[in-house]
Amino acid sequence: MEAGGLEWLLVPVHQLVSWGAAGAMVFGGVVPYIPQYRDIRRTQNAEGFSTYVCLVLLVANILRILFWFGRHFESPLLWQSIIMIITMLLMLKLCTEVRVSNELNIKRRSFAAADSKDEEIKAPPKRSYLDFDLNYFWHWSKFTDYVQCVLTFTCVTGYITYLWLDSSLFVETLGFLAVFTEAMLGVPQLYRNYQNMSTEGMSVKMVLMWTSGDTFKTVYFILNQAPFQFSICGLLQVFVDIAILLQVYLYSYYPQKPVSHTAHPASTKAL
């Protein structure tokens, strides 16, 4: 009787824990971007956020969704990719609007301050996805250009995946590229810290959030027997996060050069 009663209690508890873990997997990845989104809206300044982070995460999660068609994995991981894509598109929309608005404000201030009509400072030309100019790739003036680029990438990679879906080598490679791309998100920050011999201007709290999130995600992969690519690249993400935190310690207690007061952009990993 006691064993049966205990089992009756443990089953719903286990179910609740499973639902909680799945919910954390689906929405946990977007949590660090919520305060960033609010800060940009409040300050109307997007200079501290690198939109290349959006590019990396969009590519990684689109490839992960395509990988699902070749090898079904846990549903929460699929929904995580969908939620992350929506989040990155919202971030791109806000950043584009703020950047264009600031450019227009600068033009107005310059024109009003000009002593003569010959001194008018013209706004930079608007760049479009259809310009095919690599120098301005991912620096376009309209949110629709980013959407067109994402849709083009999705259609092309989706068509290739459809043609090669029967190839296990292609499917496994696709899965590896998806998670490896996301795992490399912190490497630019790691390299920049090494170049500057400093972590000044980097959000340590955000890196801590990413470390805890990546650790939880990796444990989830291992316990739920996700495809091996997920576990390997999850561990790689954790190692990169730990390396960045080690840089914080080393450069704080053993500074390599005089600390500059010039503000650096916020962490690409955190943002």
pLDDT at 1 > cutoff 50:
no
SS3 category, 225: coil
Answer yes or no: are the C-beta atoms of 153 and 137 closer than 8 Å. Answer: no
Amino acid at 155: C
Residues 55, 58, 61, 66, Cα dihedral to 10°: -110
33-62 mean pLDDT: 83
Q: Give the tens place of pLDDT for each residue, 189-207.
A: 777 778 778 776 566 777 7
Q: Give the tens place of pLDDT for each residue, 90-136.
A: 999 999 999 888 877 655 433 334 444 444 445 556 667 666 677 77
User: Please, is 57 exposed, middle or buried when counting C-beta atoms within 10 Å of its C-beta (0-12, 13-18, 19+)?
Assistant: buried
Structure-model confidence comparison of residues 247 and 269, the more confident one: 247
Rounded to whole angstroms, the Cα distance separating 261 from 5 reads: 64
Rounded to whole angstroms, the Cα distance separating 165 from 149 reads: 23
H/E stretch holding 79 reads helix 75-113
In the chain, domain spans: 13-104+139-253
Looking at every residue in the chain, the average pLDDT score rounds to 77
Full-model pTM:
0.72
Helix axes 2-28, 75-113, angle to 10 degrees: 30
Local confidence band at 71 (pLDDT 50, 70, 90 cut-offs) = confident
Answer yes or no: are the C-beta atoms of 49 and 271 closer than 8 Å. Answer: yes
